Chains A and B, each alone.
Chain A
């Protein structure tokens, strides 16, 4: 069935290091993927997205990689800062574009000063 999962529930990194958050998805028909950041007491905040016709997309300090062969998605955060501490969710959407997003379970990123 459809599912989106993350490999690690918690990731702890040192300030200034790079962070890599991973996500596995099972629906090969999904053609759109999003990463969200959710801080405590707030709604999910859009970080970056990628379509299935791309392998890589870069934003400000963030990069998303998509490997369709193994159905794997990752979010890389360069020079991680304390303000990056949050829960990160990946989400997928099918090609029918009903608007339905399926979220992964989330990874908590802890940045140590």
Chain B
């Protein structure tokens, strides 16, 4: 099973709202990732968690707050977003092992900020 699930599939939120994106995997992967993808562009890395600890933050604005409650779950808390934050938010997971580095992606959450 190489499935990464994400909820919700679609989210519309106002600039004053607080919402959360959720990601789950049951492949035993200990690395999890958040990416942002704008239309017709490649995914851009936002955050990396390794063994439930934040290891990379790609200078993401603080209105995006990641959380890794356990080895299977990854959240992205959203607050005071801007319309330009509208995008597809992708979660991915992988093993930490150097020999098995392929990342598996979820279907994404389509976020629209109004």
* In the complex, chain A residues whose CB is within 8 Å of the CB of B48: 98-100
* In the complex, chain A residues whose CB is within 8 Å of the CB of B64: none
Chain A binding surface, main DSSP class: loop
The answer to whether B42 touches A99, judged by C-beta atoms less than 8 angstroms apart, is no
Most buried by A among B41, B104, B105: B105
Given A98-B48, A99-B55, verify A105-B101 contact (CB < 8 Å): no
For residues 69 through 113 of chain A, which have their beta carbon under 8 Å from a beta carbon of chain B? 89, 91, 93, 97-101, 103-106
A59 at the interface (CB under 8 A from B): no
Q: How many residues of B contact A (CB 8 A)?
A: 27
Q: Measured between alpha carbons, how far is A36 from B102 in the docked complex, in Å? A: 10
A54 to chain B, nearest CB (A): 13
B108 to chain A, nearest CB (A): 5
A72 to chain B, nearest CB (A): 18
B13 to chain A, nearest CB (A): 20
Q: A46-B103, A101-B45 known; 18 other A-B pairs, CB under 8 Å?
A: A32-B101, A42-B108, A43-B90, A43-B106, A46-B2, A91-B42, A97-B96, A97-B101, A98-B48, A98-B55, A99-B31, A99-B48, A99-B96, A99-B103, A100-B45, A105-B41, A105-B42, A106-B41
List, sorted by A's number, 13 A–B pairs whose CB atoms are closer than 8 Å: A32-B101, A34-B102, A36-B105, A43-B107, A44-B105, A89-B42, A97-B96, A98-B48, A99-B33, A100-B48, A103-B42, A103-B43, A103-B44
